[in-house]
Structure formats: C-alpha cells, structure tokens
Amino acid sequence: MPIVSPAPDGPLAAPERARRETAFADALADRLRGLDGDRVRTGVALGPFTTFRIGGPADVFFEAHSADELAAAVEAARGAEVPFFVLGLGANILVGDGGFRGVVIRNRAAHVTIDTETGRVTAESGAVVWPDLIEATLDAGLSGLEHYAGIPSTVGGALWQNLHFLSPPPDRERTMFIEEVVESAELLGADGRRRTVDHDWFDFGYDYSTLHVTDDLVLSATFQLDPADPARLREIVEANLEWRGARHPPLDTQPSAGSIFKKIDGVGAGRLADWCGLKGARIGGAMVTERHANILINVGDGEGRSATARDVRHLIGYVQETVEREQGYRLSTEIGMVGDFGDLGDLPPSGWEDADGFEGGVPPGGHPEAHRDAERR
C-alpha cells in the first residue's frame, strides 16, 4: 500500500512531532467518537511489524481494527496534512533505521464473510491471506485461494501486487494470479469517497495493479470462489507449503522481505546473482540466503542485535554492482523503501538501471549472448 504525502528525511524537532501527533489525534477523534486516546501512540518501533524485523520508530502509530476505522484514520491524516503510511503485514518493504516521519496506520481490519451458496468471500483489506483467509475458505470447501498458502500478505497487499504463485502441484504448469478470483473491491479515494469497483478497474499485470498509480486505498475485496473437495484443497496447500519452504527461508528464524530484485526479461535476478557466487554474501547483519540468491535475510550481528536497514541497502548495492560487472545487467529493487534511511553514502542512484542506454536493466544492444535463452527464475 502506498505512502501518501511522503515524509521528509531526517529527524523532526520536538515541537513539530508534537504538532503532528496532536493534529492527527484531534482529527481522528472527530471521526471516531468515543475513541480511546491511548490507541494513538508515539515512538513505536516498526521493525517488529515487518517480516524483515528491521525499522526505526514511527512518530505516530495507530492500529485500525475495521474498514471504517481505516478510512477514518486515513482521512484524519489527510485532513491534518500529516504524512502517513498504511502498513499491512509488513512484507516486501524495508523501513529505514530512522523510522517514519509522520503517522503509520497499521491495517488490522480483518472481518471476513463467506457465502457458501454463491461462493463469494468478502474480506477487509487487513485480513491475512495465509493462514487466516485461506483456512476459512478451506473449511467452507471453496477453491481459488489455496494456491497462495505460505505467502505473507494481507488482502490489500495481495491486490496491490496481484499475488501469484506457480501452481497447482505437482506439475506447476503456470503462474496462478489472485486477479483470477477477484470480483470487486471497495476503495477509499483521494477525495474521501468510498466506492466499489469491479475486477477490470485494477488492470492487473505481473506484480502490478492500478493501485500503484493512484491514491486509492482498498478497504475490502470480494472473491468469487468455486466449490471443491476440502481434502483435495488441503493436499494442494500442504504441497505448496512444502515446495515454497524448500526455496524460501523461514520467516520465523530468517526474517526477510521476499524477493529483492525485479526479474529482467529473459533471465531471473536470482539466477544472475547465483552465477556471480553471491549466495552467502554478507554485510553487517544482512546476508544473501543460501536458498535463493534473490532473497536477503536478517541474520543479525551474532549478539542478539538485528541487521540494520543500512546493512541491507549496502548489500543490495553490492549485489547490483557485482551483477553488472560480471553479467552485464543492472538489477532494480522491487521491495518498497519506507521512511528515513539517513546518509547511506555511495550507492547506485535512483534510475541507475535505466541510465546510459540500459532499458529495464538490459544493456544497450540487448541481452548478452550467454544469457539470451537463460531460464527464468
């Protein structure tokens, strides 16, 4: 989900922090009568709310427990002209060591309704896809979401990135996209209006939906599922969990943000990094996992301290520079960079992958000969 009204870099003076806190709290109280003021907190570390377990504090932090609270919090931040970020499960993002200079709204709106007669499932955008939503649909004997077992995402994040996985087992002949079961969604627009849109509005693509280019926020989504044998659905789930587990590090012991780099047409980022011998490469508490060279993990410093966002950013830069030098491609990141990273020193600048005649990371003249027919990964 997008950052709206991006926060400035660097620390804020105490008076400005206090002004933002008060402005947001007052605006939220106007929209949610009877709100417990203690629910608006300050200085909350964001690392524990991300799958990477990395990130400094939010100036202001609020958890929304329903779609109505989520809409009220977003409108309160907009009305008070306070920078804000909507945080779902915290996957596919890296939060800066300096935290976020504004309001972080954690989306815990997770109400789900299931109509077994029609196969329609409506879930608020903070509902966790696995295990919560998928388990509910398995119990109802409804098929369509079982392909995404094991992938960390909320419903809102799933629509944002058009969640996908290679399925069904055992042949795994194609990539299954969540767009295939999306019927409609309720959105909160930048103008504060709530409206329902259909599947076509999203213009889904690979790792893409219209949400990338608008300020609309998903409040809930409706999926059209099909009846199926619950036993067979659970077989698919177990097979997908096993297949994914063999390729992805476990989040509970090796925190990560998933794939770091975008694939380049014709050759996968993980394969390029692997060809460079980058598995196991480490800077500080961040390391390229031995399981997949496109995933970085938070191994910490060996003394109980987490990797820093700075460690991760510099390891990303090292991988980018190594792959360009040895393979001729420029990798661009696909994870979101959120908040204040401070002065990171010498790293590839924004837009580097498309400078000097490169297009989408591919060098002038097209793919190097050795990689023209390389297997995607």
Q: What is the mean pLDDT of residues 109-123?
A: 98
Q: Are 124 and 219 in contact (CB under 8 A)?
A: yes
According to the model, what pLDDT value does residue 5 have?
52
C-alpha distances in Å from residue 334, one per residue of 172, 250, 295: 24, 20, 11
Q: What is the pTM of this model?
A: 0.92
Q: What are the structure tokens assigned to 193, written together?
A: 């209006």
* pLDDT tens figures, 166-185: 888 888 989 999 999 999 99
According to the model, what pLDDT value does residue 263 have?
87
According to the model, what pLDDT value does residue 329 have?
95
The angle subtended at Cα 262 by Cα 2 and Cα 133, nearest 5°, is 55
According to the model, what pLDDT value does residue 118 have?
98
According to the model, what pLDDT value does residue 304 have?
85
Residue 349 per-residue DSSP state = P
CA gap 288, 315 in Å, rounded: 8
* pLDDT tens figures, 262-273: 988 878 899 999
CA gap 99, 308 in Å, rounded: 11
Q: What are the structure tokens assigned to 369, written together?
A: 């000969």
CA gap 351, 280 in Å, rounded: 27
122 pLDDT tier (thresholds 50, 70, 90): very high
Half-sphere exposure of 198 (CA within 13 A, CB side): 1
User: Does 280 have pLDDT greater than 50?
Assistant: yes
Give percent of the chain with pLDDT exceeding 70. Answer: 95
376 pLDDT tier (thresholds 50, 70, 90): very low
69 pLDDT tier (thresholds 50, 70, 90): very high
According to the model, what pLDDT value does residue 377 have?
39
* pLDDT tens figures, 337-354: 999 999 998 899 889 999
Q: What is the mean pLDDT of residues 203-213?
A: 94
Which range among 33-42, 189-198, 362-371 has the greatest average pLDDT? 189-198
Q: What is the mean pLDDT of the chain?
A: 92
Three-state secondary structure string covering 241-310: HHHHHCCCCCCCCCCEEEECECCECCECHHHHHHHCCCCCCEECCEEECCCCCCEEEECCCCCCCCCCHH
User: Does 2 have pLDDT greater than 50?
Assistant: no
CB atoms near residue 366 (< 10 Å): 12
According to the model, what pLDDT value does residue 7 have?
62
CA gap 139, 182 in Å, rounded: 20
User: Does 224 have pLDDT greater than 60?
Assistant: yes
Element (H, E) at 182: strand 182-188
